[in-house]
Amino acid sequence: MIINGVHIDETFAEAFPMRATRVIVTAQNLKWAQHAAQAMTGFATSVIACGCEAGIERELDPAETPDGRPGVSALLFAMGGKGLAKQLETRAGQCVLTSPTSALFAGLDEGEQIPLGKNLRYFGDGFQISKRIGGKRYWRVPVMDGEFLCQETTGMIKAVGGGNFLILAESQPQALAACEAAIDAMRRIPNVIMPFPGGVVRSGSKVGSKYKTLPASTNDAFCPTLKGQTRTELSPEIESVMEIVIDGLSDADIAKAMRAGIEAACGLGAANGIRRISAGNYGGKLGPFLFHLREIMA
């Protein structure tokens, strides 16, 4: 398959089950909602070392938020429910409770309920007050700028992590330009995040390492400087490869995001140095979700 001169490899991305939740952060204005949400979703690129994967899904108009203020929706993913609950509570307590004028609400009603303000309320040292509205419990925690309003729980559902595709280009600037175009398109798709910085990974990894203590190491087959030293996947004209990783609330959401991103990258075409689209997989040994590139783009 070739799109605008870009070869689409006959391969697949391999993804795995995760647990996910969505939260809504609001504040006096969008600037402060973003501050809180960015802090809460920081250092959350990969479960390999961060404990969870998280990112901002989109900005919300006041009409879309529970308290009628500007807000941001964020998605958090982890390998299990216990780990996700712990990460959510820690990040909410350290990054949202602390942020001026913030409030925090559930972004998912369905699924298993996990604590949001249920334990954070104890910061109120006995001065916290609960309020039940429409069958949902909220906590009003006194803080120095007024009150921190937080819903008691949020929903946790089954989700999918590790969707991905690789952009292979003739140069580093060309690969990055294609990634930026892809991310711009993918951010219009709901229910997904691309958790790495700016949505892009320059250090794609393979499972395992020659060093026994490392669970992952550099994907040498796609490193252009190692063409003469390893079993390379790169032809002579490829000088830069970048990866986009996608976590989604469902496999359908990931497939939709992958299609939007690949279409945008291919829009730059071979004329702008974009030569191939590929994907990362481990022969079907890592996870049950297989995203075949050519089926997605058909």
The arithmetic mean of pLDDT across residues 54-76, rounded, is 97
Does 285 score more than 90 pLDDT? no
- Bridge-based pairing of strands 205-207 and 146-151 is unpaired
Whether this model's pTM surpasses 0.85: yes
Answer positive or negative: Cα dihedral of 49, 257, 270, 206. positive
Q: Cβ(33)–Cβ(27) under 8 Å?
A: yes
Over residues 189-210, the pLDDT tens digits come to 999 999 999 999 999 988 888 9
The arithmetic mean of pLDDT across residues 65-74, rounded, is 98
Helices (H), ranges, the chain = 30-40, 81-91, 172-186, 251-268, 293-297
Q: At what angle do helices 251-268 and 172-186 cross, to 10 degrees?
A: 140
pLDDT computed for residue 48 by the predictor: 85
